[in-house]
Structure 1
Amino acid sequence: MNPKIISGSSFKDGRGELNFNNLFKATEIKRIYTIQNVNTSFIRRWQGHKIEQRWFTVVTGSFRIELIRIDDWELPSTNLKREVFEISDKQLDVLYIPSGFISSIQAMEENSKLLVMSDYFLNEIEDNYKYDSNYFKD
């Protein structure tokens, strides 16, 4: 399975704005949390999961998300293909990240906030992999 955007939409009228996503199925979600980077220069990279799936949606602002599929988790190649996604709070898009990917998360606007959803509870499994921020070549 590959990462993909599950498209949301928005509706405006005299009462205000409604953002929605009628295609996103939240039946697998067990845990949610938010990420708010210290500023737009900081890039939170490279962390991921061999088993866990995640879904990202933007609460406030916008984010650039880079994903790398990992096959060898103990010693991955430093030169792997990246997939880049940009998501914002303009509509309720959800970025689906299947198991087997690591991510790089950069806020593109000050005070941006990302909602992360996972299909495992914290410490339910040991599946957290982190690599040095400069490990993978740009």
Structure 2
Amino acid sequence: MNDPQIISGNSYADQRGILFYNNDLRLDEVKRLYFIESVDLHTVRGWQGHKIEKRWFSAVVGSFEIEVISFENMEKGSAIEQKFELDSPAQVLHVPAGYLTAIRSREPKSRLLVFADYALKEIKDEYRFPYKN
């Protein structure tokens, strides 16, 4: 199993504006995308994860904190494995199959872009657990 990791991009600015890019991100597995916008800064979307599906996350507006834990460690009652801060559209968090996430907005009106490698209802692979911090 691969570990969750940030795929770093960069930005370029000139008199016309800013270009955010990520030349190391491969999207050949992606079949769909959606956006998450939380109702407030206190609500946590988690724990939710997939044993088969992969996800890629990018903060296109504002910033997010994403906690990640493997199913194996969740079932053992272990602590959070990793915590990621996303605050640039050039940063992408790749979460491989076998992990759960807990997502929290860090700024009002933040918007998170999510890519998935399976179409909606293509497989049954969604797991949810109550979030306790």
Moved beyond 4 Å, runs of 4+: none
Name the CA distance, whole Å, in 1 between partners of 2:59 and 2:118: 20
RMSD, aligned CA: 1.4
- In 1, are the aligned partners of 2:73 and 2:79 still within 8 Å (CA)? no
**1:116 is aligned with what amino acid?**
V
**1:86 is aligned with what amino acid?**
E
Question: Deviation at 1:79?
Answer: 2.3
Matching of residue 118 in structure 1 with residue 119 in structure 2? no
**1:107 is aligned with what amino acid?**
S
TM-score, structure 2 as length reference: 0.94
Partner of 1:71: helix, strand, or coil?
A: helix
Name the CA distance, whole Å, in 1 between partners of 2:73 and 2:39: 31
Question: Deviation at 1:41?
Answer: 1.2
TM-score, structure 1 as length reference: 0.91
**1:101 is aligned with what amino acid?**
Y
Structure 2 runs not aligned, ≥5 long: none
Name the CA distance, whole Å, in 1 between partners of 2:105 and 2:80: 21
Name the CA distance, whole Å, in 2 between partners of 1:129 and 1:5: 23
Match of 1:15 in 2: 16
Match of 1:83 in 2: 82
